[in-house]
Amino acid sequence: MINIPGRIEIANLPTKIEKLERLSSKLVGQNIFLKRDDQTGTEMSGNKVRKLEFSVKEALDQGCDLLITCGGIQSNHARATAAVAAKLGISSYLVLRTDGEEEIDGNYFLDKVLGAKIRFITPEEYREKRMEIMESIKEELSKEGYNPYIIPEGASNGIGTFGYFKAMEEIVQQEKEMGIKFDAIVMAVGSGGTYSGLFLANKIMGYGAKIYGVNVSNDEEYFKNQIEKVINESLFYIDKTFRFSKEEINIIDGYVGRGYALSRSEEIEFIHEVAKLEGVILDPVYTGKAMYGLVNEIKEGNFKKHNNILFIHTGGLYGLFPKKDLFSF
């Protein structure tokens, strides 16, 4: 056993694991199972709340009463942060990236419903100085009497890593209950925290699964560096020595498509087909691209050594609504 930081309990856990029977039947030799982290809640649905359970516990322990975070205009993490803050009776301030006028829809609509204060910044500002901007907001709000706490993009930092460390423990328990062993675990990678937590637990506890991430932005080298950074940050919280190589981090590159949160017609068609086939709705930013990538890799024969594959459904349903015009019915 290993001692990890404490958390607040907000998510609906454990989330179930189900087999995608009809999709698996189309992929001879591979069984695809789905970890339903899209069902961690309603307002807080998705993978982010697992990480927030640890980040917000740290914030509350420090006496903080306002959460500051950042993301794209349709950020699932930003919406989950606003929902957690409202549930706990504290405030939230979201720094959202946009390049123009935005329709009040999807996650952005829910951010407003949940009472978050919002500041828009350009993609350039977001890329170059989002932390600087959040620090300046923290300073301003501190003068107003608040005690703010900054959560980085996706809650993907040392403390947030433990959300998916715990999730890996949950998966291993479910394997025992189901009488199955997942030899590969696959997920979308957008900020690296989900992958980092699963990788850390898998490595330290010796579970033996192969962890794969399908990047939805940037490239393989960027995420290997980002994940290495996040894992190293997490080690400050535990009393365990741990060594690993970046070469052990498996990123499946090549499915970013037109770019982050930009959809290709084949991705939208795939989301639509999976919905009709399995009654499961993937999102256009993360899970749609990642599952599209996984299925394509299986068809190309790159997963022959894996029989039982667990895909982490990280949520994102609300981000589908602003893309409704891309669907053909």
Query: Do 105 and 247 lie in a common domain?
Result: no
Query: Do 130 and 172 lie in a common domain?
Result: no
Question: Which of the four pLDDT bands, split at 50, 70 and 90, describes residue 240?
Answer: confident
Query: Do 134 and 225 lie in a common domain?
Result: no
Instruction: Count how many domains the chain has.
Output: 2
pLDDT computed for residue 297 by the predictor: 97
User: Is 75 one of the catalytic residues?
Assistant: yes
The answer to whether position 9 is within a domain reads no
Of residues 280, 270, 294, 212, the one with CA closest to residue 38: 280
Q: What is the mean pLDDT of the chain?
A: 97
Query: Do 299 and 164 lie in a common domain?
Result: yes
C-alpha pair distances (Å), 219 with each of 86, 100, 147, 180: 35, 26, 36, 33
Query: Do 200 and 307 lie in a common domain?
Result: yes
Catalytic residue among 24, 75, 91, 191: 75
**What is the share, in percent, of the chain residues with pLDDT greater than 70?**
100
Average pLDDT over residues 307-313: 97
The answer to whether position 290 is within a domain reads yes
Of residues 320, 218, 311, 314, the one with CA closest to residue 268: 320
196-216 confidence digits (pLDDT tens): 999 999 999 999 999 999 999
Question: Which of the four pLDDT bands, split at 50, 70 and 90, describes residue 308?
Answer: very high
Residue 158 dihedral angles phi and psi, to the nearest 5° = -55, -50
User: Whole-model pTM?
Assistant: 0.97
Q: Is the pLDDT of residue 1 over 80?
A: no
The answer to whether position 253 is within a domain reads yes
Helix ranges restricted to H, 236-311: 265-278, 287-299
The answer to whether position 209 is within a domain reads yes
Where in the sequence is the domain holding 66, given as residue range(s)?
Answer: 48-154
Question: Which of the four pLDDT bands, split at 50, 70 and 90, describes residue 89?
Answer: very high
pLDDT computed for residue 28 by the predictor: 81
Contact 228, 203 (CB under 8 A): no
Query: Do 176 and 261 lie in a common domain?
Result: yes
Contact 64, 303 (CB under 8 A): no
The CATH number assigned to the domain holding 129 equals 3.40.50.1100
Question: Which of the four pLDDT bands, split at 50, 70 and 90, describes residue 100?
Answer: confident
Contact 191, 76 (CB under 8 A): no
pLDDT computed for residue 241 by the predictor: 78
